[in-house]
Chain A
Amino acid sequence: MRLAPEPAQVAPGLGRTPAGPRWARLALAAGLASPFLVALLALGLGYYPIPVVDVARSLLSAAVPAAADGVPEVARLLVLEVRLPRVLAALLIGAALAVTGVVFQGIFTNPLVDSNLLGVTSGAGFGAALALLLGGGTVWVQAAAFGFGLLAVTLAFLGSRLYRTAPMIVLTLMGILVGSLFGSLTSLLKYVADPLDALPAITFWLLGGLTGVGWGDVPALLTLTGVGAAFFFLVRWRLNVLSLGDAEATALGMRPLHMKFGLIVVATLMTAIAVSVGGVIGWVGLVVPHAARIVVGPDHRRLVPMSLALGATFLLLIDTVSRTLLPSEVPLGVLTGLIGVPILVVLLRRNRTGW
């Protein structure tokens, strides 16, 4: 004799996925389209407004030169040479920070972390500050930021090898320690920096921003973000299994530590390149994953593409606001916090039960 299953005691709609499958698919489609639509609008906005049609024709002219006939040359140049690289950078950095946030939250089974957990951003900040203090050019600053970002995570990894019993917990602890260490070192650099020259440069860089981003920044950003995003997209269902925790993943025939190591390496490379181009931009990796979960649920099969798209859209919107609406550019890291924190508070309030 078997006891009959209990009847579902939850009212329809409650306790179900925030969206039924069809609704979720629609929301996913809308989310995936959003970066392209917002980009089209953002390319037209600025001190010199350009109609959407001209933006589209300018973009087309890259492939078909005749498409730009009748579009003012200055508009075409603004779109293709000035605004497009910045818009692309915003899209790529936003996507990278958001999707790495999703991945870190999944593999650390903690919805309140982002890819800076292991100290990559703190390391990168120190590297950039060091290069700025030594008077290095943009290339040096980016290289140093990228390099020290990777160094910080490597140190956290090496530190975690000292204790083998609970690898993920020790790794988290080491990441926090390494992050604090580089934070202190950055403060030290700021303390000794020339207050008229190097200090403002360091402060400005640490607050994040895309001013002065050009085509030269795009290839590395595009390559690493593209490869990383593709990798995460391919393993997106495995992230579901990993997010149950090591014991469960092992029981299901996975080797969670191997897989997590690979995911952390890829996420760290993505975050490091994003930070080296855009500076320290917080909150994207926290706010966007939560927003994406509310729309499509916790299943990484939908969450990974959705967070890529929403992250891109979110950062582009904020960068466009910073670039066009405000009298002088407000640093991105400040705006993401000012806008992101209230959004996160609302999301957490609405999303009381499940993450």
Chain B
Amino acid sequence: MARLTASGIEFAYVAGKPVVQDVSVAVDAGEVVFLLGHNGSGKSSLLGCLAGVHRPSSGQVLLDGEDVHAMSAPARARRLGMIPQLHVAAFAYDVLEVVLMGRAPHLGTFEAPGPEDEAIALDALALVGLTDFRNRRYTELSGGERQLVMVARGLAQRCDVLLMDEPDAHLDPRNQFRVLEVVSDLARQRGLAVVIASHAPNSALMFADRVLLLRHGRTLAMGGVNQTLDEERLTAAYGMPTEVVTKVVAGRRVPRAILPRRIDRVADEVDTIAVHRADVERPGTLLDRVFAAGARRPQRLIVTGARGTGKSLWCAAVAETARARGLRVAGVSSPAVIEGGRKTAIDLVDLGTGQRRRLAEVRRADEPGTATQRWRFAENALAWGNEVLRAAAEAPGVDLLLVDELGPLEFVRGEGFTEGLAAVDARHYAVALAVVRPALVDEALRRWPDAVVVDVED
């Protein structure tokens, strides 16, 4: 059973206006759980309920099976450490004095801490790496150091659970990292259960084991970081188009950064034509628009759109219509091969001849040596693709050249179709279309500074 279990929590400051509704969360020893959500989503209120400071109107919080709200305040504070948001202290206590205050729940009202408490406080300071700071004034420390002093105070409480309200607020990136790294290390090494309310989903990506995504006081999603923090949920949680930048690590694609999607910022500086997914039904008008755009000087179009908006489908429709009108189409596309509902491979198609080859296959999980990549590329297929592009670039009378699609392989690592692309760049066409994902639009614009961006929307 989890160390701290909250089930069916409902809480309201004003009766009838609950700010937390039917939220359940469980935290194990040694685990870091992040509470994420917009301002007013109920993170801090939920944290208060977990800490026993707020009494939920329904549901209960159990610490090792014992009701947190039935415990006396000192008994609760001996096991549950709560670190409120950083504030400026009115009095300049020494760091050691501040850490010693963590002993409060262990001492009687008329008692003052003794040598034993002091030893515990010094141990706690050592654990956060601030031993040398013990005689410094707390008010003169940097925000990150003060936050670490608060962590030390929580450790001096000798608690099993540490609850933190926005420990990364007001800190520079280095200090955010430092504080969260110390806390997550402590969780692993000392079996501390940690709950962190935060406004920084990127901190969660780096340090959380699991996240609880709150929206208007309700659970939007709960689970492992990589599964839970996807574009769709984050967009819903923050009411803001959100982009998740991913990276392949140990053969698995994992989210590395969460960014607001600002395609319109690109649009401010660059010619953009917005295309709707449904326009695929009217490929004729589509082609006219493309050529109208391509008739302008650049003749390069960058087709983009979030995953699933149908940018490849759109390109295929354009190519087909062009062919139907007797235009000469060349280039490559890479349709997915779907077997049993799963993407198992990617083919490569020469749009000029219609020839098709297997480009890459998904590695099987049990395959040896699956260290770094999800896809196993067929070397000869890549070479063939480059050859197709070079031939298309050199062939006379090509009206429409299409490359679907370009990715980090080309833009970042200089592999894949880089060679063929260089040949394409050396020539001019009536229209050249390159399909890229939104995260790489800036990269593509750097390569083709005066290209027109075609933004395919749902």
Q: Smallest CB–CB gap between A160 and chain B, Å?
A: 18
Residues of B within 8 A of A109 (CB): 90-91
B51 & A240 in contact (Cβ 8 Å cutoff) = no
Given contacts A241-B101, A252-B77, contact A355 B132 (CB under 8 A): no
B51 & A237 in contact (Cβ 8 Å cutoff) = no
B333-375 residues with Cβ-Cβ distance < 8 A to A are none
B93 & A248 in contact (Cβ 8 Å cutoff) = no
Selecting from A64-72, A294-302, A313-321, A342-350, the interface stretch reads A294-302
Interface string of A65-103 (1 = CB under 8 A from B): 000000000000000000000000000000000000000
Given contacts A10-B140, A251-B83, A251-B84, contact A298 B91 (CB under 8 A): yes
Whether a CB of chain B sits under 8 angstroms from the CB of A327 is no
Interface size on A, as a range, is: 35 or more
Whether a CB of chain A sits under 8 angstroms from the CB of B102 is yes
Interface string of B287-330 (1 = CB under 8 A from A): 00000000000000000000000000000000000000000000
CB nearest to B138 among chain A residues: A354
B137 & A353 in contact (Cβ 8 Å cutoff) = yes
Q: Smallest CB–CB gap between A297 and chain B, Å?
A: 7
Q: Smallest CB–CB gap between B408 and chain A, Å?
A: 27
B91 & A355 in contact (Cβ 8 Å cutoff) = yes
Q: Smallest CB–CB gap between B63 and chain A, Å?
A: 14
Interface string of A226-264 (1 = CB under 8 A from B): 000000001111101101110110111111000100000
Residues of B within 8 A of A238 (CB): 104, 109
Given contacts A250-B53, A254-B73, contact A5 B92 (CB under 8 A): no
Given contacts A235-B110, A244-B101, A251-B53, contact A354 B136 (CB under 8 A): no
Which of the listed residues B53, B84, B91 has the most CB atoms from chain A within 10 Å of its own CB?
B91
CB nearest to B89 among chain A residues: A244
Selecting from B178-186, B208-216, B233-241, B397-405, the interface stretch reads B178-186
CB nearest to B53 among chain A residues: A250
Partner pick for B109 among A110, A235, A245, CB 8 A cutoff: A235
Whether a CB of chain A sits under 8 angstroms from the CB of B55 is no
Given contacts A237-B112, A253-B77, contact A111 B90 (CB under 8 A): yes
Bound complex: CA A255 to CA B105 (Å): 11
Whether a CB of chain B sits under 8 angstroms from the CB of A37 is no
B92 & A252 in contact (Cβ 8 Å cutoff) = no
Residues of B within 8 A of A106 (CB): 91
Bound complex: CA A297 to CA B157 (Å): 24
Partner pick for A247 among B84, B94, B109, B178, CB 8 A cutoff: B84
Given contacts A240-B101, A252-B102, A353-B139, contact A2 B181 (CB under 8 A): yes
Whether a CB of chain A sits under 8 angstroms from the CB of B199 is no
Residues of A within 8 A of B84 (CB): 247-248, 251
Bound complex: CA A252 to CA B78 (Å): 8
Given contacts A2-B182, A15-B136, A15-B137, contact A253 B105 (CB under 8 A): yes
B139 & A299 in contact (Cβ 8 Å cutoff) = no
Whether a CB of chain B sits under 8 angstroms from the CB of A22 is no
B104 & A254 in contact (Cβ 8 Å cutoff) = yes
A8 & B181 in contact (Cβ 8 Å cutoff) = no
Residues of B within 8 A of A298 (CB): 91-93
Residues of B within 8 A of A354 (CB): 91-92, 137, 139-140
Bound complex: CA A299 to CA B97 (Å): 8
Whether a CB of chain A sits under 8 angstroms from the CB of B43 is no
Bound complex: CA A234 to CA B81 (Å): 26
Residues of A within 8 A of B157 (CB): 252
Bound complex: CA A259 to CA B73 (Å): 13
Whether a CB of chain B sits under 8 angstroms from the CB of A4 is yes
Whether a CB of chain B sits under 8 angstroms from the CB of A3 is yes
Q: Smallest CB–CB gap between A355 and chain B, Å?
A: 5
Bound complex: CA A241 to CA B53 (Å): 17
Whether a CB of chain B sits under 8 angstroms from the CB of A322 is no
Bound complex: CA A97 to CA B414 (Å): 78
A251 & B81 in contact (Cβ 8 Å cutoff) = yes
Residues of B within 8 A of A216 (CB): none
Partner pick for B136 among A3, A16, A254, CB 8 A cutoff: A16
Q: Smallest CB–CB gap between A24 and chain B, Å?
A: 11
Bound complex: CA A75 to CA B64 (Å): 74
Bound complex: CA A109 to CA B185 (Å): 34
Residues of B within 8 A of A16 (CB): 94, 135-137
B92 & A253 in contact (Cβ 8 Å cutoff) = no
Whether a CB of chain B sits under 8 angstroms from the CB of A195 is no
Residues of A within 8 A of B413 (CB): none
Q: Smallest CB–CB gap between A120 and chain B, Å?
A: 22
Bound complex: CA A109 to CA B88 (Å): 11
CB nearest to B174 among chain A residues: A3
CB nearest to B175 among chain A residues: A3
Residues of A within 8 A of B82 (CB): 250-251
Q: Ordered nearest first, which 4 A-B pairs have the shortest CB separation?
A: A354-B92, A253-B77, A253-B105, A5-B129
| Given A5-B133, A15-B137, A252-B105, 15 additional A-B pairs, CB 8 A | A2-B181, A10-B136, A111-B91, A234-B109, A236-B112, A240-B93, A245-B90, A252-B101, A253-B74, A253-B77, A254-B104, A298-B91, A354-B137, A354-B139, A354-B140
Contact sample, A vs B, 16 pairs, CB 8 Å cutoff: A3-B178, A5-B130, A10-B140, A15-B136, A15-B140, A16-B135, A109-B90, A236-B112, A237-B112, A244-B89, A245-B90, A253-B75, A254-B73, A293-B91, A298-B92, A353-B92
